[in-house]
Amino acid sequence: MPGTESSCRTSAGGPGCVTPTSALLCSKLAQWSLRALVILLVASVVQSCDHSAPLDVAEQLPLDPRGATLPIRLTYNPSDDIDPAVGGDMIVYSLLEPGREDRDRCLGYLPTAGGTRLALRCPGGAVADSTLDAWLQPAVSDDGRIAYVLQRSSVLAETPSLRRIVVAPLEAPDSALFEASAFFDLADGRRAFDLRALAWTESGALRFVAGKDSFPKPDGVRDTLFQPLRLVELDLTTGSITEIAGTDGVIAHAPAPDGGIWFVMESTPRVLWHRPPGGSSPDSIGAFSGAVSHVANIDGLPVGVQPGPDTSLVEILDLGTGMSAATIVVIGRASQIAPIPGSRSFVLQLITNMHPDLWLLALP
């Protein structure tokens, strides 16, 4: 290369360029070093410069709860918000979104303090438009699973054609880990095909009130009435149903602090029964001031809900006296109650204006 020769000549006499051979080697070495240097220099400049970022679409910031003092209204959905359950630092509930074309009932996920919903999960699938799919009665386990009732009916039918108990990851309720039919026979031959008060047990089973529906037409319009049969437990490992003795006609239940079960019977709706762990016979441990429809264990205390048409009572039972210890009066017809673990707060389902909403309250 002419350039090579001339550059070597000009540097002749310099260090390392004494003989023609070494001068040539020196020159080539210098050239390649220079090329490498240029490439490295460009690479380092490039590395140090970042490109502009594309248009950034920021997420909308979630809102805080609407109101600072209890009770706080958690949902303003003009349609139904029902079946609250708490677990995994969130409230999971079943809702019907207004305007939803397929009229499926979804699961909503709220922060336990309220505010903007964290997520909404809805039934999907290819048959979504020809059936009404409802995800009901969610229950959240400590290990991040959710159990719920999948109820499906034809758009023209008055009664469901399918009702199953589904267990799935909390964040993906449509990715079923376990499914079992809600249609089964009890040991005494009675057939159960509906359920209420689905809850997880400490051992990882599902506990619920097995029952059946009746469809009276008192005013010419068909209604659906739930008839409780017995409290049962569903083993997710084997899929087997275990009936809990002495719980015929149970309408509500909650876990007792000793590992047993508190429950209320349809025949004695004021009385709170306790079934100790180990399977011995249940005992009456107290009585509410009126008939309760739902019970809960809030901070170790038995709490019952006494629904009324305009006002309802949330009553705390004193386990020492077996009598009412305190009562909270709420406006509206209350029903499901879900305690927030580790606190005295709870979520209450309340109908104040035609449709049920969820409210956040706390025991005094």
Alpha-carbon distance 324 to 315, whole Å?
7
Determine if 68 is a binding residue for other proteins (CB under 8 A): no
Closest to other proteins by CB, 79 vs 227, is: 79
Interface with other proteins includes 63 (CB under 8 A)? Answer: yes
Interface positions, 95-134, toward other proteins (CB under 8 A):
97-99, 108, 110, 114-117, 120, 124, 126, 129
Here the tokens at position 49 are 């410069």
Is residue 191 close enough to count as binding other proteins by CB under 8 A?
Answer: no
In the list 73, 103, 164, 274, the residue contacting other proteins (rule: CB under 8 A) is 73
DSSP string, 215-268: ---TTSS---EEEEEEEEEE-TTT--EEEPTT-TTEEEEEE-TTSSEEEEESSS
| 283: number of Cβ within 10 Å | 12
Structure tokens at 201: 């047990």
Report if residue 15 touches other proteins, rule: CB under 8 A: no
156 near other proteins, judged by CB under 8 A: no
Q: Does 54 bind other proteins (CB under 8 A)?
A: yes
Cβ-based neighbour number of residue 267 at 10 Å: 10
- Phi first, then psi, for residue 48 (nearest 5°) are -85, -10
Distance CA 109, CA 89 (A): 10
- Tokens linked to 301: 């205390």
Question: What would the two tokens of residue 253 be?
Answer: 């239940």
50 lines the binding site for other proteins (CB under 8 A): yes
Identity of the residue, 8 or 265, whose beta carbon is nearer to other proteins in the bound complex = 8
Q: Tell me if 16 contacts other proteins by CB under 8 A.
A: no
Binding residue for other proteins (CB under 8 A) from 18, 34, 225, 331? 34
Phi, psi of 313 (to 5 degrees): -115, 140
> Which C-beta is closer to other proteins: that of 11 or that of 297?
11
Number of residues that bind other proteins (CB under 8 A): 48
Look up residue 255 and give its two tokens.
């876990």
CB of 303 to other proteins, least distance (A): 24
- The residues binding other proteins (CB under 8 A) are 1, 3-4, 7, 27, 30-31, 34-35, 38-39, 42, 45-46, 49-60, 62-63, 66, 73-78, 97-99, 108, 110, 114-117, 120, 124, 126, 129
